[in-house]
């Protein structure tokens, strides 16, 4: 008798210790040991803006003198939100009783108190340090004594005269809407899943990238000091091969070169930043001579933008969004059947679990830098066209 029907199916559970991002959650604490991009530089203005990061609601603003600040919304006096505050030269004034906080949460005025508040130094608005770099605002949301340096990346250094840096928070590389409404890990681990490319992005969606990407690659995976790397070999049939290197770097970076196969080291890096357990944004930085480079990279489906697809077209031409969102708001990882081609995903999950343990033992996670001599990170990801050695690496799909 054939008994494997869906009757009595157990639904399973997510790998919460890897997927959840709030304070005190195992991987949420790993994420908090690194600077995270939280907004574009232009988002911080004298009009307070609500931002959500790692499950925390915060208020971003820029003082009239130009300094960005990131404060907890609930005023330390009696809780009115600083979203309704007024930005001044050196801080933000709560609209309820006028207390003023600077960008580090110091209370600088309490106008209704005698002498502007004799004890105001005892009341500090919860705050996070922020920095501006490469067009993005970065926040450090972890324990103060563990705050590392804000790293730089060789990809974005020493620009040529005709090159610019482009920063984007619009989900480049994720497909679908700018605010992705499911758990961030489904997207991050997809970066270590090179086999979905020739299937989802070629056979299903009518070759979204280039003809070479439709070839099923031969792949090796290995650990690097900062994460996991996959190297994908595609024989091109003309004595050359494409060696495409893709990296994930802790805690949530994606180093994926242009699928349109620009040659050499990648010119872009992304950060998969959870807003909470069931939504995330992808911040991307690129260097290029064309300021529209990232916009042009956005994938289309038979020439149509994702947002213009009909329901029938979503079914017929699914992309990353359809695949990853449909795994669930948080995937039930316990029910996955990881096979040979999921080696990269398994390695990434294993390394994440290992870093959680390392943190519990008081160690620093990989790539957290305290020494200026290690501040510039070398990026290996890219598309490298080479003479094929020995046998052509692959069979065409
Ligand atoms: S609640 Fe903010 S000053 Fe009173
Ligand atoms: Fe994809």
Domain stop point among 82, 104, 132: 132
Q: Is residue 393 part of a domain?
A: no
Looking from the CA of residue 75, the nearest atom of ligand 1 is 2
pLDDT of 362: 96
58: tokens are: 């915060």
Name the residue among 100, 132, 176 with its Cα closest to residue 35. 132
pLDDT of 123: 95
Q: Is residue 210 part of a domain?
A: yes
Q: Judge if 110 and 183 occupy the same domain.
A: no
Q: Is residue 245 part of a domain?
A: yes
Query: 101 in ligand 1 pocket by Cβ < 6 Å?
Result: no
Q: Judge if 160 and 126 occupy the same domain.
A: no
List residues bridging with 235 in a β-sheet: 241
| Ligand 1 centroid to residue 373 C-alpha, Å | 44
Q: Is residue 92 part of a domain?
A: yes
Query: 96 in ligand 1 pocket by Cβ < 6 Å?
Result: yes
| Ligand 1 centroid to residue 180 C-alpha, Å | 34
62: tokens are: 């820029």
Q: Judge if 189 and 303 occupy the same domain.
A: yes
Q: Judge if 371 and 229 occupy the same domain.
A: yes
Query: 74 in ligand 1 pocket by Cβ < 6 Å?
Result: no
Closest residue CA from atom 4 of ligand 1: 97
Q: Judge if 304 and 228 occupy the same domain.
A: yes
Query: 97 in ligand 1 pocket by Cβ < 6 Å?
Result: yes
pLDDT of residue 310 exceeding 80, the answer is yes
- Encode the chain in three state secondary structure: CCCCCCCCCCCCCCCHHHHCCCCCCHHHHHHCCCEEEEEEHHHCCCCCEEEEECCEEEEEEECCCCCEEEECCECCCCCCEHHHCEECCCEEECCCCCCEEECCCEEEECCCCHHHCCCHHHCECCEECEEEECCEEEEECCCHHHCCCCCEEHHHCCCCCCCEEEEECCCCCCCCCCCECCCHHHHHHHCCCCCHHHHHHHHHCCCCCCHHHHCCCEEEEEEECCEEEEEEEEECCCCEEEEEEEEEECCCEEECCCCCCCCEECCEEEEEEEEECCEEEEEEEEEECCCCHHHHHCCCECCECHHHCCHHHHHHCCCHHHHHHCCCCCCCHHHCCCCHHHHHHHHHHHHHHHHHHHHHCCCCCCCCCCCHHHCEECCCCEEEEEECCCCCCCCCC
Closest residue CA from atom 3 of ligand 1: 97
**CATH number of 95's domain:** 2.102.10.10
As a whole number of angstroms, the distance between CA 273 and CA 279 comes to 9
Q: Judge if 183 and 106 occupy the same domain.
A: no
Q: Is residue 5 part of a domain?
A: no
Q: Judge if 41 and 152 occupy the same domain.
A: no
Domain stop point among 69, 101, 132: 132
Query: 99 in ligand 1 pocket by Cβ < 6 Å?
Result: yes
Ligand 1 pocket, mutate which of 80, 88, 100 (most atoms under 8 A from CB)? 80
Total Cβ atoms within 10 A of residue 303: 7
Query: 236 in ligand 1 pocket by Cβ < 6 Å?
Result: no
As a whole number of angstroms, the distance between CA 192 and CA 365 comes to 20
Domain stop point among 107, 132, 157: 132
Task: Give the domain extent around 73.
Answer: 35-132
Q: Judge if 180 and 329 occupy the same domain.
A: yes
Closest residue CA from atom 1 of ligand 1: 78
Q: Is residue 204 part of a domain?
A: yes
pLDDT of 176: 82
List residues bridging with 283 in a β-sheet: 271
Q: Is residue 353 part of a domain?
A: yes
On average, the pLDDT of the chain sits at 93
pLDDT of residue 288 exceeding 50, the answer is yes
Instruction: Indicate the Cα dihedral angle 326, 332, 334, 340, nearest 10°.
Output: 20
Question: Angle at the Cα of 258 (from 253 to 259), degrees rounded to 5?
Answer: 110
Please indicate, yes or no, whether the overall pTM of this predicted structure exceeds 0.85.
yes
pLDDT of residue 390 exceeding 60, the answer is no
Q: Is residue 348 part of a domain?
A: yes
pLDDT of residue 25 exceeding 80, the answer is yes
**CATH number of 280's domain:** 3.90.380
Q: Judge if 177 and 85 occupy the same domain.
A: no
Looking from the CA of residue 110, the nearest atom of ligand 1 is 3
Sorting pLDDT into bands at 50, 70 and 90, what band is 361?
very high
Let me know if 111 is exposed, middle or buried by CB neighbors in 10 A (0-12, 13-18, 19+).
exposed
Q: Judge if 283 and 194 occupy the same domain.
A: yes
For 203-238, what is each residue's pLDDT tens digit? 887 777 788 888 899 999 999 999 999 999 999 888
Q: Judge if 181 and 273 occupy the same domain.
A: yes
Among 181-195, 285-299, 369-383, whose mean pLDDT is lowest? 285-299
For the segment 74-89, the average pLDDT, to the nearest whole number, is 98
Name the residue among 215, 186, 180 with its Cα closest to residue 198. 215
Number of domains in the chain: 2
Q: Judge if 173 and 113 occupy the same domain.
A: no
Let me know if 36 is exposed, middle or buried by CB neighbors in 10 A (0-12, 13-18, 19+).
buried
């Amino acid at each position: 008798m054939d008994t494997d029907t869906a009757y009595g199916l157990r639904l399973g559970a997510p790998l919460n210790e890897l997927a959840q991002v709030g304070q005190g959650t195992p991987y949420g604490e790993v994420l908090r040991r690194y600077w995270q991009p939280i907004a574009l530089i232009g988002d911080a203005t004298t009009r307070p803006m609500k931002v959500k990061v790692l499950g925390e609601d915060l208020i971003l603003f820029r003082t009239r003198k130009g300094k960005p600040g990131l404060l907890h919304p609930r005023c330390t006096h009696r809780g009115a939100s600083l979203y309704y505050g007024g930005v001044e030269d050196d801080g933000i004034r709560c609209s309820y009783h006028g207390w003023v906080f600077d960008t580090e949460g110091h209370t600088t005025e309490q106008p209704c108190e005698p002498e502007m508040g004799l004890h105001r130094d005892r009341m500090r608005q919860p705050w996070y340090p922020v920095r501006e770099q490469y067009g993005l605002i970065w926040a450090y949301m972890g324990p103060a004594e563990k705050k590392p340096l804000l790293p730089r990346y060789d990809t974005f250094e020493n620009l040529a005269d005709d090159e610019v840096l482009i920063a984007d928070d619009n989900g480049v590389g994720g497909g679908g809407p700018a605010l992705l409404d499911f758990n961030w890990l489904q997207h991050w681990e997809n970066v270590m899943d090179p086999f979905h490319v020739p299937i989802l992005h070629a056979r299903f969606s009518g070759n979204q990238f280039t003809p070479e990407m439709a070839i099923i690659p031969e792949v090796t995976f290995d650990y690097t000091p900062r994460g996991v790397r996959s190297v994908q070999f595609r024989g091109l049939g003309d004595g050359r091969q494409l060696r495409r290197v893709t990296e994930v770097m802790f805690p949530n970076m994606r180093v994926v070169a242009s699928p349109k196969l620009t040659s050499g080291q990648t010119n872009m890096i992304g950060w998969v930043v959870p807003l909470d357990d069931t939504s995330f944004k992808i911040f991307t930085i690129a260097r290029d001579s064309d300021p529209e480079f990232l916009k042009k990279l956005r994938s289309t489906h038979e020439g149509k933008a994702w947002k213009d697809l009909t329901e029938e077209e979503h079914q017929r031409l699914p992309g990353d969004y359809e695949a990853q969102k449909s795994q669930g708001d948080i995937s039930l990882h316990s029910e996955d059947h990881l096979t040979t081609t999921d080696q990269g995903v398994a390695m990434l999950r294993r390394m994440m679990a290992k870093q959680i343990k390392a943190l519990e033992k008081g160690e620093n996670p990989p790539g957290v830098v305290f020494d200026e001599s290690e501040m510039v990170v070398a990026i290996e990801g890219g598309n490298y066209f080479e003479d094929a050695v020995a046998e052509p690496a692959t069979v065409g799909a």
